[in-house]
Amino acid sequence: MTDSRVQNCIVFLDSGAGGLPYLSAYSALNPKPLLLYVADKKNFPYGEKTKSELVSLLIELVGRIKKHFSPALITLACNTASVSALAELREYFPGTDFVGTVPAVKPALLYSKKKHIAVLGTERTLEDGYIRRIADNTARDCTITRIMAAELVNFVEHDIDYSDKAARIAMVKKYIDMAREKGADALVLGCTHFLFLLDEFKEASAPDMPVFDSMNGVCGRIENMLSGKTVMTGKNLLFVTGEDDAGKQWETRAARFGLDIFKPRDWDYV
């Protein structure tokens, strides 16, 4: 059943907290539209699922989101979901506009003097053919060092709020050192969760290893795709799947990102 409180909103969707910096950056660019953040806690983490598992769970979730909210646009604020299922979602829901989030491989390769970049992401994102395809279309004979960082995803999802700066720097430095040891001269943050650590990444990788992410590209794309559309305005909202109670940590996040916790009517939580 459609929920008249939230229609024609812009949805940001991730397995957890990862898309929140994207929502925040878009809200700074255009504060008008009502943004609905959907944290698919029920299915976290996406990075350890197979492509076909992700395609079916995302088709199910997007189907429900469409039914309840008739969104003006859906942003997959998740690299894992985008490389695994964006094409399938577009095919399954031909009338719906989607914006995907993919690792910023192209700008990093265009910058890299050694034509050797490191991409940090989930296992699923890194095993997908997407990165190689973009790399081959951008630079000949380039080297891509793939660094799987599920530990970092879990750190951001569960522990970051209880960590101090020294712990966060130590956490990211480990991955920057791996990229340096392999000989890369640019680092791509290929998972939205890592944007929570952007300052730490920049601090620990300077001056020889610039960090690339897709946040500005995604925000610009949303803005272009929205032109001429009718959108609802109002306070931004957070919906956490999985349980009726979002939990304390999500209350803290909602407050930090200026979101009201929202429970759709008639949503089957479990």
In whole angstroms, the minimum distance from the beta carbon of 170 to ligand DGL comes to 21
Distances (CA, A) of 165 to 55, 60, 161, 209, 231: 37, 39, 11, 20, 39
Nearer to ligand DGL, 27 or 43 (CB): 43
In whole angstroms, the minimum distance from the beta carbon of 70 to ligand DGL comes to 25
Contact of 65 with 93, CB cutoff 8 Å: no
In whole angstroms, the minimum distance from the beta carbon of 3 to ligand DGL comes to 26
Contact of 89 with 58, CB cutoff 8 Å: yes
Using CA atoms, how far apart are residues 203 and 192, in angstroms rounded to an integer? 18
Q: Which two tokens stand for residue 52?
A: 């076909």
With tokens 């878009």, the residue in question is 26
Nearer to ligand DGL, 19 or 210 (CB): 19
Catalytic residue, candidates 9, 78, 142, 219: 78
The answer to whether 78 is a known catalytic residue is yes
Nearer to ligand DGL, 46 or 262 (CB): 46
Secondary structure (3-state) at 246: coil
Nearer to ligand DGL, 195 or 254 (CB): 195
Degrees, nearest 5: CA angle 63-82-177:
145
Catalytic residue, candidates 9, 142, 191, 219: 191
- Contact footprint for ligand DGL (CB under 6 A): 14-16, 18, 44-47, 78-80, 122, 125, 153, 191-193
Amino acid at 12: F
Using CA atoms, how far apart are residues 39 and 27, in angstroms rounded to an integer? 17
* Burial environment of residue 127 by CB neighbours within 10 A (0 to 12, 13 to 18, 19 or more): middle
In whole angstroms, the minimum distance from the beta carbon of 57 to ligand DGL comes to 11
The answer to whether 142 is a known catalytic residue is no
- The set of catalytic residues is 78, 191
